[in-house]
Structure 1
């Protein structure tokens, strides 16, 4: 798998350090407002699973974690813009502070849909903690309160990000060689 990567953008240590910073910021921002129930961290499966696990360990306050699986990619490499919920929350988020843990903000179409969907459920607040925000043209206007890294508009994999369900287990984030996906 490593031979399929043209270059590493974010190392394992850089990711660990930045996720710890994000967890500390979330703790600081919510510790006094979330009450004894704490926050609900919503992991957007499958790409954000690794990130969410590390992030919740870096948050020093009560929290509940729940999972949603959404799809807008079909079998291609670009978002279709048509979002389907494949797995919905088990938790009631009404009146709760929700932090969406997302692996990457790319087109923003899926995340925009998800925010609108979750807002309809009456949470106290919704914020987004994305590990990566890709520099893409025509990106939907999504307010991300917490951003791990800005990244170039290249095909990246690793640390949960995949191509055809491969490369998620790489401990770093790297650029996939074009000959692999073209």
Structure 2
């Protein structure tokens, strides 16, 4: 059985999401915004973030990519499993991620989304973890920065387990 150490509790998660939503709402006031959540990990974060936004026009879509499988390190072999359905041509897009780790998946997804001709693409992440960063990725909106460790909970998984945990934990196997 894995050992869990709490990294971010429910209150800190909620507070950081509210703060981030306020900044995004200010930055995009009067504009239509498309949030593109990266499945499966970002779905909880995206739902909470979207509810905190004070913008009048927000569209939500999802895409799904995989690079981890059942391991704790990226295979660096990125596979697009689900593409967006909304036309983002000429739209402002924020890619919503649970965690930016190596940056390879996010870099791949941003390049993919640019082919649809959005007017802008920014990134919002629940967690920015630079320990294993391999791609030069800028995260525009960060709720929390974490130095290191393999994290689970609040959408983050290990082999599809532990997404349902209400807080974020460092997991030791």
Task: Judge same fold: TM > 0.5, yes or no.
Answer: yes
Please tell me whether residue 168 in structure 1 is matched to residue 163 in structure 2.
Answer: yes
Greater mean alpha carbon deviation, residues 100-109 or residues 81-90: 81-90
What's 1:16 paired with? 14
CA distance in structure 2 between the aligned counterparts of 1:80 and 1:44, rounded to whole angstroms? 17
Q: Which TM-score applies when normalising by structure 2?
A: 0.95
What's 2:147 paired with? 152
CA distance in structure 2 between the aligned counterparts of 1:43 and 1:151, rounded to whole angstroms? 21
Structure 1 residue 4: Cα displacement = 3.9
CA distance in structure 2 between the aligned counterparts of 1:84 and 1:135, rounded to whole angstroms? 22
Structure 2 unpaired stretches of 5+: none
Greater mean alpha carbon deviation, residues 85-94 or residues 138-147: 138-147
Does the CA-based 8 Å contact 2:103-2:133 persist in structure 1? no
Structure 1 residue 138: Cα displacement = 4.2
Describe the superposition over 1:108-135 as per-residue Cα deviations: whole angstroms up to 9, x where unpaired: 0000000011011100100000110113
What's 2:27 paired with? 29
Q: Give the length in aligned residue pairs.
A: 172
CA distance in structure 2 between the aligned counterparts of 1:144 and 1:175, rounded to whole angstroms? 22
Mapping 1:19-168, distance limit 5 Å: 19-32=17-30, 34=31, 38-61=32-55, 62-168=57-163
CA distance in structure 2 between the aligned counterparts of 1:41 and 1:18, rounded to whole angstroms? 18
Does the CA-based 8 Å contact 1:20-1:58 persist in structure 2? yes
Q: Which TM-score applies when normalising by structure 1?
A: 0.90
Structure 1 unpaired stretches of 5+: none
